Structure formats: C-alpha cells, structure tokens
C-alpha cells in the first residue's frame, strides 16, 4: 500500500475517501503539529525527520523508538548546546553552496554555472512491500532550479535495519555536474562518539581500531577503484556515549553497498552532534548528469541497538541472510581447493588425484584455482596469461570437461577459479585489445601483481567478462562453482572508452554490476565466491550476487581467529570461507576447529596427511555436516573477546534454541593461559535443559569435561561453563543440545 503526503500537510490518498484518510492521519497525530514529522521506525528504533516552516527537512532524532510519535518534536528543545547559525546542521541531506557551512551530502554545479543548492520538502510517501519491509521516500526540490532529490529509507522492521539511498534528478536544460552525491546523511546526539573501524593490507584484513571522535571530521575512505577494501573496508560502527560492549551500550553499524571507492565523513559539529555522510567517494569523480537523467546512489545499510554489539550483529546477520546475500538462507559446499597444494604447478594426473582426495576427505567439491588457462603465454606464474581463458593444453589436454567428468565419477562437484576483470600485459587479450585496458596513454604502465584492470565501463568489456563465465558454463554445464578473484587496484585511472574520465570509478562498478545482473539472470543459483587477493572486496553491494567471500589469504589459524571475529560483527558465518591450510604452527585439529566457524574448506595435500590426521579430517567433515546448519543460520553470541583475553569463545544458537555450537580457541602462549573461569553462554532458553558434549576430538584423545553433563539454560547463561581451554587443549568445540 502507498500513502502519499504533500507539502500542504493534506494527505493525497490513492483511495477515494479523503475525509476518512484525513481523520485517520489526525488520529495518528502526524499532522496535528505545526510541522510535519516523518518518523521512520523499525521494531525498536526510529529516525525522525521534521519539515520546518521553511520546508527544510531536518533530523530531530535517531535512536530507540518512543511509544508516542507526537513526543519526538520535543526532543530538539531539550538540547542547549549552542546555536546553529545556519539552521541546517541537522539537514536530512545537506546541500552545499547555500546556507550550509559543514560537510555536504550533495554538491553540484548547475547547468548555468551556479554552485548553490537548496533542497526543500515537496512530499513524502510510504510504500509497503510486505508485512516487514516498507520504504519511506521524501521528495526534495530546489526552489530556484529544476533539480530534485528523493531520499529513500527502506526499513526492515523485525531486523531493525535500514537501507538508505538517494535519487538525484536533473530537469534543467543542460548537464548538471555532481561533485558529491552521498547515499546517506545521519545526525546523532550523544555526549561522546566512539568510532570502531578497520585498516589492513594483503594478509592483514580487518585490523580493528576504536577511538573517541573529537570536533572536526574523521574520514574513512578508499580510492583504489577495484580491490577497494585492501586498506579499509566500507564498514564501521559508532558507539554513543561510551564504547559499547557485547551486551550493553548504544551502537550503530554502517556499511556501504558499493564495490568501489567509498567515503564516510564523521563530523562532530559545533553542537557536539555527530553528522555522518556516507556514499561513493567523490574523489576524481565529478559526474555530469544529463538533462532528464537520474543518478541513483548505492544503499548505505545500517542498524542500531541500545543493547550492545551482540544484538547489532544479530540484526545485521539476520538481514544479510534473509534479504541480501545470494542464497543466504540456503546451504554451502564444503570443498578441497588446490591453490596452496599446487600453486601453478599441476597437470591432469595431479588434479585427478586431488579430485579423488576430495572424495576421500568427504567434502562436497573440488575447486581448481589459478593456472589452468592460456597457451601462447601459459599461466605458469602470475606474470603471464591472465585474460586468455582457454584451457592450457599441456596441463589440461582434455580440457575442463575431463575434470568435470572425473569429479562426477568420484561423486563430488567441480568448481573453478576465474579473474575475468584483469589482464597480464603478457597475454593475447592485451595484444588484441589494448584499448580495453585501464591506463594513461602517455605514462608508463604501473602493474599490481603483474597485471592491469580491464575497463568495465566499456560495454564490449562487459560482454567479454560475461562471455568468459558463460563460455565455461555452456561448454561445461557440470561446473558447479566459481571463485571470482580480483587481484589488482586501479593505477593510472583512464578509460579509452569514456569521454568523461571522472565517470570511470562509478561506471566501472556499474559495469561490474551489469555483468553480474546478466550472469544472475542466466545462472540465478550457481554458488560463487567473492575473492580479491583475500578479502580485498567485501561489501554488501557485491554480496547480493555472491554466496560467500574469501576472508583472507592469511590462513594462519591464530590470525584467522581475530579476522573472523572482526568480520563477524558485520557478516554472517555462512558468507565467510575458511580453509584449513598449512599456514601456522598449530596442529590440524586447531586449524580445522577455526575453519569450522564459517564455511569449511581445505587447501592441503590430503595424500601427505598421516593416518590419524586423515581420520581426524574425515571425521571432522562429518561432524561439521552435523552442525553446519546452526553455524550458517543460527544467532551468533560472541562470549570472550580474543583482543582482550587469552582465549576466544563464541557460539551459534539455532532458531528453536534447542541446539548450539560453542567454539573456544587459545590465543596466548603465556604460562597458565586458558579459560580460568566459566564462560557465560548466550541465546539459550533459561527454562530448558541442555546436554553439553565436547566434539571434534582428535583420535585417541578424551574430553576433560564431564561426559554428557546436563545444565539448565538459566545456569549456563548465569554461571556458564568452563570449556577448559589451555595449552594442552588449545581448541575446544562444544555441542549444546536440548535434553528432553
């Protein structure tokens, strides 16, 4: 159903009975006040906008929902922190060039060269998608120029999640240049703001930072083009007043659904309020919007909780699984990957052995990684061949088809690695299509991992990229999985195709999405891993086309505990691919236990495993199968933070609160390090009884915990259980099942 409202304050219903409509609205008190109040509410939270008498739309509240909508209007008067001389510090979408003096959400140059923009309320409406999802849109227009912006707030009620974006329309006679065009503009009020954000590099994803924001602007951004999250992911959290803990405090999580350059401005303004502007990075990206055209910004997704980080995470996970990640409520394929087992050095017999090993291990699929293609410049290292997607005849004389058949013979599936957006200069593709490559014509090429990026703004390149995937699947319908890699950043950003170079960063991402749309139209369900030299590209824009992402090339389990923990704030376990490899000094059990807190895979030489290790790995695959449903779809409770303790502890609980899996890992070598006290569990039913059993034990070892002990949920969540983590028991997995 659609509800429309207009600036006169008189609702314009689609339905005929205007009087009844008016009475209904008066009864809900929306228009009973002098100013129009627009509450955007979810189950527990509210973002409240108010239209002033001057028609400017401001944010008067962000936080926990009030019972009485009419009371929101009192809130601004309660703050005596000074004067807002401009009157627009709290703008719902701050425009540059007129009264505003702070960081804008939008900045434009009109067709006549004028650089001012004012956006005034015209109307708003609420569109209901279903019982849980509705979108409020607010139309704003410049009173002088024929230029308007619609703000969209899509509310996922139960999940307490909002996706916010804007549509910018130019109805002037000539092009308008958009210098900045954010997705969202928020305004929060607290005494202090604690920003949690991340930095990183290859093999060092998700290094956390937390800091108090002081007056001025803190910027989080990326200008890398592709592999945009190499140094910084597009995700952050802000705690209000004091750093939130897992169970206490008010916290906002935000993430931009955009697989490219992003920018978050976090500005503590003169009134000590926090302005958040989130969107595509305007860096080198002036966008000429033609007359009668609309620019739709990507959604900025956020959730808020006044009950700490744990609840915010569960909100985000639930939304991600049900509404965003491809097949987020489905299942995933366990696998054996050959990247670290062989690197580029393989042939048909070696791969056939690995396919047999896949079966022996008991996982679902064999995943063939980099190195299977190119003939003129064979792909025997990362220096050549990228772009030439024909099977290398020396390594694979009978093509992919032979391997698919081998997989079938062994009762496993077959997946394959691609990196279709990129090219080595040493390749036939580069020789044939130099104009498809992003580079400055009059400067030396600068390579990243010996490769360059193809210009996805060019429709011919989009066809090519789609064609690479489509050909593999058409010729080999048995291919069941893609790992889509993206190893280079964009240097020398310049497109031979575009006439306006400042459109490149935006059009690249749009081109990427066009390919993915086309791919998904033809292959809606094929599982696909989002990979970028590790986790260099992890965002919810891409994840609507992908089933999962590669967390990091760093598979040292000790490092992984920390990375997986940090990713877990924003991304559910079902989307995180974790492989058991030979990185790190820990035994196979520890490595496997860590990989189990997400989607389990292996990248080891199975034939080199000793008898006991092999038995353990085979049993572990069965064990994983017995509880993967809980890890993939359950609620996450982070119990003991490895950043602050000698060990990490977390658990997943199923919807029915009848089964849970608890993971515990030692992260310190210090004398006596381990779980000295019981760990309080979360998410159980106090009045249910639960049986606790240690699982995934290494052959020949026994649990030190009481066998099959039964406790009440109340006991487990009030007193807890000690998993007995110590140097001799460095990783412990507990299965918690309802005892009936």
Could you say which DSSP state residue 697 is in? P
Rounded Cα distance between 663 and 597, Å, is 7
Q: Which of 236, 295, 430, 550 binds ligand DGJ (CB under 6 A)?
A: 550
583 makes contact with ligand DGJ (CB under 6 A)? no
> Least CB distance from residue 550 to ligand DGJ, whole Å?
6
Residue 233 or residue 533: which is nearer to ligand DGJ going by CB?
A: 533
487 makes contact with ligand DGJ (CB under 6 A)? yes
> Least CB distance from residue 334 to ligand DGJ, whole Å?
17
Region of 196 please: left (phi>0), alpha (psi -120 to 50) or beta: beta
Could you say which DSSP state residue 535 is in? B
Contacting ligand DGJ within 4-33 (CB under 6 A): none
Residue 367 or residue 509: which is nearer to ligand DGJ going by CB?
A: 367
Task: Return the SS3 of 125.
Answer: strand
> Least CB distance from residue 665 to ligand DGJ, whole Å?
23
Rounded Cα distance between 340 and 351, Å, is 13
Element (H, E) at 665: strand 659-666
Stretch that binds ligand DGJ, among 107-115, 498-506, 526-534, 709-717 (CB under 6 A): 526-534
Give the tokens for residue 337. Answer: 């990957």
> Least CB distance from residue 449 to ligand DGJ, whole Å?
8
Stretch that binds ligand DGJ, among 79-87, 144-152, 527-535, 697-705 (CB under 6 A): 527-535
Residue of minimal Cβ distance to ligand DGJ: 370
Q: Which of 527, 534, 541, 557 binds ligand DGJ (CB under 6 A)?
A: 534
Task: Please report, for residues 48, 76, 78, the alpha-carbon distance to residue 272 in angstroms, rounded to integers and kept in the order given.
Answer: 19, 13, 14
> Least CB distance from residue 686 to ligand DGJ, whole Å?
44
593 makes contact with ligand DGJ (CB under 6 A)? no
Name which of 602, 542, 608, 612 is nearest 571 in CA terms.
Answer: 542
Rounded Cα distance between 621 and 362, Å, is 6
> Least CB distance from residue 523 to ligand DGJ, whole Å?
21
Contacting ligand DGJ within 390-449 (CB under 6 A): 417
Number of residues that bind ligand DGJ (CB under 6 A): 11
Give the tokens for residue 51. Answer: 């239209």
Task: Return the SS3 of 190.
Answer: coil
Residue 339 or residue 377: which is nearer to ligand DGJ going by CB?
A: 339
Rounded Cα distance between 449 and 653, Å, is 42
Stretch that binds ligand DGJ, among 354-362, 530-538, 541-549, 679-687 (CB under 6 A): 530-538
> Least CB distance from residue 546 to ligand DGJ, whole Å?
14
370 makes contact with ligand DGJ (CB under 6 A)? yes
| Alpha-carbon torsion (20, 25, 28, 32), positive or negative | negative
Residue 303 or residue 487: which is nearer to ligand DGJ going by CB?
A: 487
> Least CB distance from residue 458 to ligand DGJ, whole Å?
24
Rounded Cα distance between 44 and 66, Å, is 9
> Least CB distance from residue 689 to ligand DGJ, whole Å?
44
Q: Which of 142, 246, 364, 369 binds ligand DGJ (CB under 6 A)?
A: 369
Dihedral pair phi/psi, residue 596, rounded to 5°: -75, -15
Give the tokens for residue 588. Answer: 């196979």
Residue 553 or residue 556: which is nearer to ligand DGJ going by CB?
A: 553
Dihedral pair phi/psi, residue 335, rounded to 5°: -150, 165
Residue 485 or residue 566: which is nearer to ligand DGJ going by CB?
A: 485
Could you say which DSSP state residue 71 is in? G
Q: Find residue 668's DSSP bridge partners.
A: none
Q: Which of 257, 548, 553, 635 binds ligand DGJ (CB under 6 A)?
A: 553
Task: Provide CB contacts within 8 A for 435, sequence distance 6+.
Answer: 496, 497
First CA to last CA distance, the chain: 45
Contacting ligand DGJ within 286-345 (CB under 6 A): 339
205 makes contact with ligand DGJ (CB under 6 A)? no
Q: Which of 168, 531, 574, 620 binds ligand DGJ (CB under 6 A)?
A: 531
Name which of 679, 666, 657 is nearest 725 in CA terms.
Answer: 666
Give me the residues that bind ligand DGJ (CB under 6 A), please. Answer: 339, 369-370, 417, 485, 487, 531, 533-534, 550, 553
């Amino acid at each position: 159903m659609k509800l429309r409202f207009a600036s006169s304050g008189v609702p314009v219903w689609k339905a005929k009975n205007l009087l009844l409509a008016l009475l209904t609205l008066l009864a809900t008190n929306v228009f009973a006040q002098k100013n129009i109040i627009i509450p955007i509410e979810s189950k527990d939270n509210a973002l409240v906008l108010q239209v002033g008498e001057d028609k400017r739309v401001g944010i008067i509240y962000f936080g926990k929902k009030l019972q009485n909508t009419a009371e929101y209007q009192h809130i601004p008067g309660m703050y005596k922190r000074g004067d807002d001389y401009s009157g627009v510090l709290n703008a719902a979408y701050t425009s540059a060039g007129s009264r505003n003096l702070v960081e804008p959400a939008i900045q434009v140059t009109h067709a006549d060269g004028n650089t001012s923009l004012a956006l005034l309320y015209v109307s708003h409406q609420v569109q209901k998608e279903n019982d849980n999802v509705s979108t409020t849109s607010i139309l704003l227009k410049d009173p002088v120029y024929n230029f308007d912006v619609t703000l969209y707030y899509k509310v996922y009620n139960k999940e307490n999640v909002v996706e916010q974006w804007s549509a910018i329309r130019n109805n002037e006679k000539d092009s308008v240049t958009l210098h900045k065009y954010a997705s969202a503009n928020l305004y929060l009020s607290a005494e202090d703001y604690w920003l949690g954000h991340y930095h990183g590099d290859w093999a060092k994803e998700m290094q956390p930072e937390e800091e108090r924001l002081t007056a001025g602007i803190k910027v989080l951004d990326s200008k890398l083009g592709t592999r945009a999250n190499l140094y910084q992911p597009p995700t952050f959290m802000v705690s209000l007043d004091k750093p939130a803990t897992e169970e206490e405090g008010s916290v906002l999580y935000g993430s931009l659904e955009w697989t490219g350059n992003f920018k978050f401005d976090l500005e503590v303004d003169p009134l000590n309020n926090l302005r958040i502007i989130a969107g595509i990075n305007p860096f080198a990206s002036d966008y000429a919007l033609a007359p009668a055209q609309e620019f739709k910004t990507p959604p900025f997704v956020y959730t808020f909780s006044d009950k700490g980080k744990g609840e915010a995470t569960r909100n985000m996970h639930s939304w991600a699984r049900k509404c965003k990640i491809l097949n987020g409520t489905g299942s995933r394929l366990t696998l054996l990957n050959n990247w670290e087992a062989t690197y580029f050095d393989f042939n048909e017999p070696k791969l056939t052995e690995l396919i047999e090993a896949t079966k022996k291990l008991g996982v679902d699929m064999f995943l063939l990684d980099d190195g299977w293609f190119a003939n003129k410049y064979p792909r025997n290292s990362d220096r050549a061949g990228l772009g030439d997607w024909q099977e290398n005849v020396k390594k694979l004389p009978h093509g992919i088809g032979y391997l698919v058949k081998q997989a079938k013979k062994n009762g496993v599936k077959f997946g394959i690695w691609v990196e279709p957006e990129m090219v080595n200069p040493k390749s036939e593709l580069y020789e044939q299509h130099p104009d498809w490559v992003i580079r400055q014509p009059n400067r030396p090429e600068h390579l990243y991992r010996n490769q360059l990026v193809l210009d996805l703004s060019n429709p011919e390149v989009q066809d090519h990229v789609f064609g690479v995937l489509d050909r593999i699947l058409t010729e080999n319908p048995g291919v069941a999985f893609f790992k889509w890699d993206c190893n280079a950043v964009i240097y020398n950003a310049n497109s031979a195709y575009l006439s306006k170079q400042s459109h490149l960063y935006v059009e690249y991402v749009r081109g990427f999405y066009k390919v993915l749309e086309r791919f998904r139209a033809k292959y809606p369900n094929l599982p696909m891993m989002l990979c970028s030299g590790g986790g260099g590209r992890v965002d919810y824009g891409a994840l609507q086309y992908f089933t999962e992402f590669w967390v990091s090339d760093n598979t040292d389990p000790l490092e992984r505990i920390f990375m997986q923990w940090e990713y877990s704030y924003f991304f559910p376990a079902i989307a995180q691919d974790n492989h058991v490899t030979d990185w790190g000094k820990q035994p196979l059990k520890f490595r496997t236990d860590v990989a189990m807190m997400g989607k389990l895979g292996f990248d080891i030489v199975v034939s080199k495993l000793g008898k006991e290790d092999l038995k353990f790995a085979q049993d572990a695959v069965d064990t994983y199968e017995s509880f993967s449903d809980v890890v993939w779809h359950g609620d996450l409770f982070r119990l003991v933070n490895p950043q602050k303790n000698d060990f990490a502890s977390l658990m997943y609980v199923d919807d029915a609160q009848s089964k849970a899996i608890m993971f515990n890992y030692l992260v310190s070598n210090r004398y006596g390090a381990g779980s000295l006290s019981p760990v309080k569990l979360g998410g159980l039913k106090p009045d249910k009884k639960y049986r606790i059993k240690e699982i995934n034990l290494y052959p020949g070892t026994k649990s030190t915990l009481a066998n099959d002990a039964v406790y009440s949920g109340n006991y487990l969540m009030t007193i807890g259980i000690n998993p007995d983590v110590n140097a001799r028991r460095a990783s412990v997995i507990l299965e918690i099942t309802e005892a009936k």
